[in-house]
Amino acid sequence: MGKYTFKGKAAVSLAAIAALTLTGCASVGGGGDDKKDGGDSGAAKDGGVVTVAETNKFSGANPGYTKTNLDINGHVAAMTRESFVNVDTEQKLSANEGFGTYKKTSDDPLTVEYELKDPQWSDGNKIDKADMLLWWSVLSGYANDADEEGKAGKNYFTIAGSTDILHTTDMPKFSEDGKKMTLTWGKPNADWEIAFDSNSLMPAHVVAKKAGMSEDQLLKVLEEQKKGDPESPQKQPELEKIGKAWDTSFNFTSTPEEKDVLVSSGPYKIENVVENNSITLKKNENYKGDAPGKLDEITLRTIGDATAQIQALRNGEVDIMQPGNVNKDTLDQVQQIENVNVQKGDQLAYDHLDLNFGSDVFKDEKVREAFLKTVPRQQIVDQLIKPVKDDASVLNSQMYVSSQGEPYQKAEEKNGAKEKYGDVDIEGAKKLLGGKAPTVRILFNNGNPQRVDTFQLIKESAEKAGFKVEDLGDPNWSEKLPDGDYDASLFGWVSPGVGTEMLSQIFKTGGGGNYNKYSNKNVDKLVDEARTNLDEKARVDQITDIDKHTFEDAYGLPLFQSVGYVATSDKIAGVDKYQPNQTGVFWNVSEWSRK
Amino acid sequence: MTSYILRRLITAVLILLGASFIVYLMTAASGDPLWDLYGNPNAQQLIPARVEALNLDTPPILRYFTWLGGAAGCLVPFADTCSLGVSRDGQEVTELLAFAMTQTIMLVTVGTILAIVVGITLGIVSALRQYSGLDYGITFLTFLCFSLPSFWLAVLLKEVVAIQFNDFLQKPVLSMVSIVVISLVVALIWFLVSFGRMRTRLLLAGAGFVVTFGVIYFVLATDWLNHPFLGIPLIALTGILVAVIATVLMAGLRNRRALYAALGTVVLGLALYFPVQYAFKGAGLLTVLALVVVLTAAGAAIGYFAGGYDRGQGARVAGVTGFFVALLIILDRFMQSWPDYVDSSHIRGRPIATANSATPGFTGDFWTTGLDRFTHLLLPTICLTLLALASYSRYSRASMLEIMGQDYVRTARAKGLSERTVVMRHAFRNALIPLATLVAFDIGGLIGGAIITESVFAFTGMGQLFVQAVRNVDPNPVMGVFLVTGIVAMVFNLVADLVYSVLDPRVRVKA
């Protein structure tokens, strides 16, 4: 280290003088040009880029396929696919006339006429007969002939939902020009309006190419497919090829080399996919529908960590976030950010306590009723949900969630949940128990703090009435759910918001989601009736009747709806309502713009 | 020697085999690979599909050998028989690994190199000034960083260096009072960490004040943060500084020829400044590398031909100077693209990023995409560097202290060598020997990924791949990660031992 001496005093005094003279002006900087974003007059413009934070990784452009049925893939599909109906934030359906129109021409047999307006794929190929027929073949499972155990026969298309709605339809009839399709149901189905799910609409010309045939050949194969019969399965090798192409062609985690799988019929189309990281969509210039996009580009980027998402939002790296799991900490953080708007709402997901009808303790209806009387629902809501959303209330229906509005109110009036289980009634419970002290083992996810708190509150209250409550908390609770080795279960359902399929899944004897072995002949009958009832009003009546039965039978109790929110940078216009369904914030993507 | 290496390699293979068997069985036994499917409405199709795809009907022990068979295929070069199996979602593990490795290497390389360089420098400096304010300051800071939880440090960095800095960039104005306060704080730090007589310390503090004040004033007054530049004057100034420091450290200022050669290299770099700007148009990595190589080589040549009593020394000094001048010119070119980058529709005036490895959807030339990489890697790199500083600085400090107390250092001093020669040539080099093990080991561990940092900064590297796979009870990706990290760890272990014997003549490998 060389040492150099210089006139120290002089240097110091020089610095001091410099400092003094400079202190004359109050602040430094801000010179040069003014910032260009001065045009922030608040008026929305066309063009621009919007980025949305996602938790999961994009894995494919066909969310109708089981393996790629993920929220982020569905969000991409919401921007790249259209169908005959749109769903609004109250889960009401409206026709999407830019795509096509539909009309019910007969109730018995249920017959519906679909007419395509003139939609086209982003590569210019029209959406026509072949696309419609493929769409129907996938969703109806017309040729499926696999038996229950899946040992013989085959399901040609591996779809994420069920073929329930369209399964009884006949081969559709088309008009000469292929624009009009007439569909006749063998058995009426209440959900016919949502039969054609936009997620499963795949371009027939691309599927044909991937299956190694022309679009005309594909059309011919589909037209000639034989009705499947599990009793006598038959091979349909050409259809198998199409099914395989439909299943596998649209799965990609980075930009595919063949761009044809990126075609879109919605306002945006996939441009670029970066593995595990992001997916970028550009405006679809060939879009002919009613809802063209205003932005140039929308990017979904994967940020798994909640805090990281919030900081990215603060830093302007993402403009919109809609987390699936909401807790008070993160919500508080988001609400504190300046320049960010937060829209809160109730998710379609709700927590509920189900009693296991297969367990010894709850064979006796009195014990069930007594236990339910002790559940402190109001207290649970007050302690767990209200800190996040002040106007939260107890959920009083097993059938509807409160964001569905009218039908929920009707169910609440009729089902007697409020009168019977509105307040905790320890005395009443004691009376029903008559001095017995049954042990109740509750299964729940102890990896979820909210469930743990709920369990504690239920336990405290129930023990006052003389129950012994055992903790069966387990992070792998879902594995144990079908086993039935518990007396009560505490978990959440996600209601699809529209449709009646969950009725037979959850409440019908032997239903796939009927884990607590509930069985009531009246309910079974009502479920079947409601699911085939085409009159909406009468259907709501039947469903509220089912609701009433479940409370009379002391089935269990709905507790509360989870709180959801969407946080948006104030530079984005068009995101002003919370949409609780799976499409989420993307439900009105074509209205988004950058201010 | 050969037989020693051979023996080590054979043991390594055996260890890998045994360990992979155990890891496979442990992963397979860690849970139910179907856990996420129960309760899924399509469970009836999904469960058999996964059982078939992952061969779950076969007991894990047999499945291990299937996996081993596939993995053995990787040993055959160019045969395309390599298969490490598929993940739960049907992706080839080899592809997953390739992707995760690039992400991890990108994330940790710069951080590790910086940690090594800065850590060792700090350690050496604090050893040379043992028990001074500087020593205590460095010890305090490195231990502070060492004890910070990485997720917290990351969140803090994002808050200050990204969000608040970006806010500041919107209107880069500081009041005169705050500039003076900042400069005073810096002056105080200079005073505290400086050593020697009071007068020197006061002088240093004064210099610290003036320099800080001048830099801040300059940066703000010229709106440098939004329109950064170096230009000829700053490149010249920094280049001369580099030349002097390089000479001081590597040759001593008494070697005038080396100093002149280094300064000559700076002049050469400046002369190349304008022609190079044309070459940079539409340039890529190759042009940049070429410039670095050319200037380094030219510097070395200048140093060599400048002659003097030690040609090699001159060549080294001027070569290093050439290297840094090339970097400065490249940095200047990046800075020229900064306004374009910041004002692009994807960045919108907020350059420093908090998540992911690149701005999705952003496209541009070599310079703007390079800047995009920089803004994304800045925070994780700072984070990793700060966390790793302590171990390097402590090790190198201890090792340096030990060396400085050795007899041969006293001998060197006694025979009248300059302090610079004693420190740089006799002590420093030998102090690095024990660090070779540490560095080799850390580079081996590098590839394993930084699980927490990756997750906080939304990088999907090896750490994430591993954690996800373990969570999913998905043995194939776990084995993939294990295989890569295991092999790298073993190889670098061996390399460390070999390097040790090369560096330290006292250690000899017994053949």
Query: What would the pLDDT profile of A365-386 be if each residue is shown by its tens digit?
Result: 899 999 999 999 999 999 988 9
Find, in chain B, the residue whose alpha carbon is nearest to that of A309: B355
pLDDT in tens, A159-178: 887 888 898 999 999 998 88
Above 90 in pLDDT, residue A497? no
Mean pLDDT of A467-489: 86
Distance CA A43, CA A533 (A): 47
Give which of B415, B355, B392 is closest to B154, Cα–Cα: B355
- Buried b / exposed e across B110-143, counting CB within 10 Å, b at 16+? bbbebbbebbbebbbbbbbbeebebbeebbeebe
Distance separating alpha carbons of residues A541 and A527, to the nearest angstrom: 11
Bridge partners of residue A184, in order along the sequence = A111
Max CA separation in chain B (angstroms)? 85
Q: Which residues of B touch A155 (CB under 8 A)?
A: 45
Mean pLDDT over the full length of chain A: 87
Q: How far apart are CA B358 and CA A15, in angstroms?
A: 44
Residue A22 confidence (pLDDT) above 90: no
Residue B148 C-alpha, separation from nearest chain A C-alpha, in angstroms: 18
pLDDT value of residue B53:
83
DSSP state of A185: B
Burial of B199 (0-12, 13-18, 19+ CB in 10 A): exposed
pLDDT tens digits, one per residue of A185-217: 998 888 899 899 888 899 999 999 999 999 999
| Confidence at residue A273, expressed as pLDDT on a 0 to 100 scale | 93
Mind telling me how many Å the CA of B398 is from chain A's nearest CA? 22
Under an 8 A CB cutoff, do A35 and B345 touch? no
DSSP letter, residue A275: T
| Band (A30; pLDDT cuts 50, 70, 90) | low
Contact A59 B158 (CB under 8 A): no
Given the DSSP bridges, would you call strands A488-494 and A340-355 parallel, antiparallel or unpaired? antiparallel
CA distance A83 to A361: 49
Q: Take residue B497 and report the two structure tokens written for it.
A: 């031992």
pLDDT of residue B509: 58
**ipTM of the complex as predicted:** 0.84
Could B46 and A66 be called an inter-chain contact, meaning their C-beta atoms sit closer than 8 Å?
yes
Test A28 with B343 for CB contact under 8 angstroms: no
DSSP state, A159?
B
What pLDDT is attached to residue A26? 62
- Interchain CB distance below 8 Å, B355 and A513: no
**Roughly how many angstroms between the first and final C-alpha of chain B, as a whole number?**
5
Interface probe with A: pick from B168, B343, B346, B348, most Cβ of A within 10 Å: B348
Cβ neighbours for B30, distance < 8 A, ≥ 6 positions apart = B470, B473
A316 touches chain B (CB under 8 A): yes
- What is the interface size between A and B, counted as CB pairs within 8 Å? 190
pLDDT at res. B312: 87
Contact A168, A189 (CB under 8 A): yes
Prior bond to A109 cis, omega within 30? yes
Mean pLDDT of A122-128: 92
The sheet with strand A180-184 has its strands ordered as A100-107, A110-116, A180-184, A173-174
A538-577 burial, b at 16+ Cβ within 10 Å, e below that, comes to ebbbbbbbbbbbbbebbbbbbbbbbbbbbbbbebbbbbee
Would you state the pLDDT for residue B40? 66
H helix intervals, A162-293: 204-210, 215-223, 237-248
Q: pLDDT, tens digit, for every residue of A419-432?
A: 889 889 999 999 99
Indicate whether A75 pLDDT > 60.
Answer: yes
Q: How far apart are CA B415 and CA A522, in angstroms?
A: 106
Per-residue pLDDT of chain B (511 residues; tens, 9 = 90+): 788 889 989 999 999 999 999 999 999 998 888 877 776 666 777 788 888 888 888 999 999 999 998 888 888 777 677 888 888 877 889 988 988 998 888 888 899 899 999 999 999 999 998 988 889 999 999 999 999 888 899 999 999 999 999 999 988 888 899 999 999 999 998 888 887 889 999 999 999 999 999 999 999 988 899 899 998 999 999 999 999 999 998 888 888 889 999 999 999 999 999 999 988 887 788 999 999 999 999 999 999 998 777 788 889 999 999 999 999 999 999 999 999 999 988 888 899 999 888 888 888 889 999 999 999 999 999 999 998 898 899 999 999 999 999 999 999 999 999 888 899 888 988 888 888 888 888 877 777 767 888 888 988 889 889 998 998 889 999 999 999 988 888 888 888 888 888 777 777 655 4
B35 vs A478: CB contact, 8 Å cut-off? yes
Residue of B nearest to A24 (CA): B176
**Strand-strand pairing, A85-87 and A93-95:** antiparallel
Residue with tokens 């063949």: A258
pLDDT for the residue numbered B448: 74
d(CA A140, CA A62): 17
Number of other CB atoms surrounding residue B432 within 10 Å: 17
Buried-state track A197-212, b at ≥16 Cβ within 10 A, e below 16: bbbbbbbbbbbbbbbe
Please, what is the Cα angle at A495 between A142 and B33, to 5 degrees?
75
- A102 beta partners: A114
Per-residue confidence (pLDDT) for residue B508, from 0 to 100: 66
Nearest to B253 among A2, A158, A303 (CB): A2
Residue A471 in tokens: 């903790």
Where along chain B do its domains lie?
Answer: 1-83
Range ranked top by mean pLDDT from A320-334, A400-414, A560-574: A560-574
In whole angstroms, give the CA distance from residue B174 to residue B57: 68
Residue of chain A nearest B156, judged by CA positions: A311
Q: What token pair was written down for A566? A: 């969407």
Residue A20, pLDDT score: 44
Q: CA-to-CA distance for A186 and A111, rounded, in angstroms? A: 9
pLDDT at A38 over 50: no
Long-range (24+ apart) CB contacts under 8 A made by A236-244 are A236/A143, A236/A156, A238/A213, A239/A143, A239/A156, A240/A154, A240/A156, A241/A211, A241/A212, A241/A213, A242/A134, A242/A156, A242/A207, A242/A208, A242/A211, A242/A213, A242/A218, A243/A156, A243/A157, A243/A158, A244/A211
CB B155 to CB A302 under 8 A?
no
Mutate to test the interface with A, among B354, B418, B460, B464 (most CBs of A within 10 A): B354
- Separation of alpha carbons B66 and B479, rounded Å: 13
β-strands A556-569, A268-274: how paired? Answer: unpaired
Share of chain A above pLDDT 70, in %: 92
User: Rounded CA gap, A544 and A549, in Å?
Assistant: 9
Beta strand pairing call for A320-321 and A468-471: unpaired
B451 conformational bin, left if phi > 0, alpha if psi -120 to 50, beta if neither: alpha
The answer for B237, left when phi > 0, alpha when psi is -120 to 50, beta otherwise, is alpha
List pLDDT tens digits, range A225-234.
989 888 888 8
Of B367, B349, B369, the closest CA to residue B359 belongs to B369
Residue of A nearest to B362 (CA): A280
Give yes or no for A521 touching B (CB within 8 A): no
The pLDDT score that the predictor gives to residue A280 is 94
Quick: pLDDT tens for B280-332. 887 788 999 999 999 999 999 999 998 777 788 889 999 999 999 999 999 99
- 8 A C-beta contact, residue B101 and residue B484: yes
Q: Decide if A158 touches B, using CB distance below 8 A.
A: yes
Kindly state whether A391 is in contact with chain B, defined as any CB-CB distance less than 8 angstroms.
Answer: no
Query: CA nearest B48 in A: which residue?
Result: A150
Q: Which pLDDT score is estimated for A1? A: 36
**What are the structural domains, with CATH classification, of chain A?**
26-60+254-344+565-594 (3.40.190.10), 85-248 (3.90.76.10), 347-562 (3.10.105.10)
Q: Residue B42 has which token pair?
A: 């399509």
